[in-house]
Amino acid sequence: MQAESIALLLTLLVEAPLVYGTTRSWSLGRMRRLACMVLPSCFTHPLAWHAIGNFGAHDYVQGLLWVEGLVWIAEALLLQGLGRAPARAAWATSALANTASTLAGWVLV
Q: How many degrees, rounded to 5, is the angle at CA 12 between CA 90 and CA 71?
A: 50
Length of the chain measured in residues: 109
- The pLDDT value given to residue 10: 93
- The pLDDT value given to residue 34: 94
pLDDT tens sequence across 4-63: 999 999 999 999 999 999 998 888 889 999 999 999 999 999 999 999 888 888 888 899
Q: How many CB atoms lie within 10 A of CB 76?
A: 23
For the whole prediction, is pTM greater than 0.85?
Answer: yes
pLDDT tens sequence across 62-95: 999 999 999 999 999 999 999 998 899 999 999 9
